[in-house]
Amino acid sequence: MVVNMVIDFNNLRINNLHSQTEFEKKVTFFLEEWLSDSETVKVQTSGSTGVPKIFEIEKQKMINSAVMTCDFLGLKEGNTALLCLPVEYISGKMMMVRSFERKMKLIVADPSLKPLENLEEEIDFCAMTPLQVENSLDKLYLIKNLIIGGASVSASLKNSISEVLSRSPTTNYIFETYGMSETLSHIALKQLMPKAEDYFTAFENVSITKDERGCLQIFAPNVNSGILQTNDLVEIKDGNKFRFLGRIDNVINSGGAKIFPEELEALVKKEIPNEVVFLGVNDESLGQKLILVIEGEKSNDLIEKITKIPFGKNFYKPKEIIFINEIPRTANGKVNRIELKNIL
Asked whether residue 96 carries a pLDDT value surpassing 90, the answer given is yes
One fold for both 5-205 and 251-343? no
Helix (H, G, I), strand (E, B) or coil at 129: coil
Could you give phi then psi for residue 200, rounded to 5 degrees?
-75, 145
Distance CA 48, CA 45 (A): 8
- Considering the domain 5-205 in this protein, what is its CATH number? 3.40.50.12780
Distance CA 218, CA 115 (A): 32
Q: Helix crossing, 155-165 with 261-269: angle to 10°? A: 40
Distance CA 207, CA 200 (A): 13
Angle at 152 (CA atoms; ends 105, 98), nearest 5 degrees: 20
Query: What is the pLDDT at residue 88?
Result: 87
Distance CA 51, CA 159 (A): 34
pLDDT digits (tens, 9 = 90+) for 193-240: 999 999 999 999 999 999 999 999 999 999 988 899 999 999 999 999
Across 84-99, average pLDDT: 94
pLDDT digits (tens, 9 = 90+) for 10-60: 988 877 777 788 999 999 999 999 999 999 998 876 655 556 678 789 999
Q: What is the mean pLDDT of the chain?
A: 90
Decide if 109 contacts 47 (C-beta within 8 A). Answer: no
Map out the domains of the chain as residue ranges.
Answer: 5-205, 251-343
Which class in CATH covers the domain with range 251-343?
A: alpha beta
CB proximity list for 191: less than 8 A, separation 6 or greater? 173, 174, 175, 197
Distance CA 34, CA 109 (A): 19
What DSSP element (H or E) covers 187? strand 185-193
Helix (H, G, I), strand (E, B) or coil at 142: helix
pLDDT class for 331, splitting at 50, 70, 90? low
Give the pTM. Answer: 0.81
Distance CA 159, CA 192 (A): 10
DSSP string computed for 240-293: TEEEEEEEGGG-EEETTEEE-HHHHHHHHHTT--S-EEEEEEEETTTEEEEEEE
Distance CA 303, CA 56 (A): 47
Distance CA 234, CA 242 (A): 6
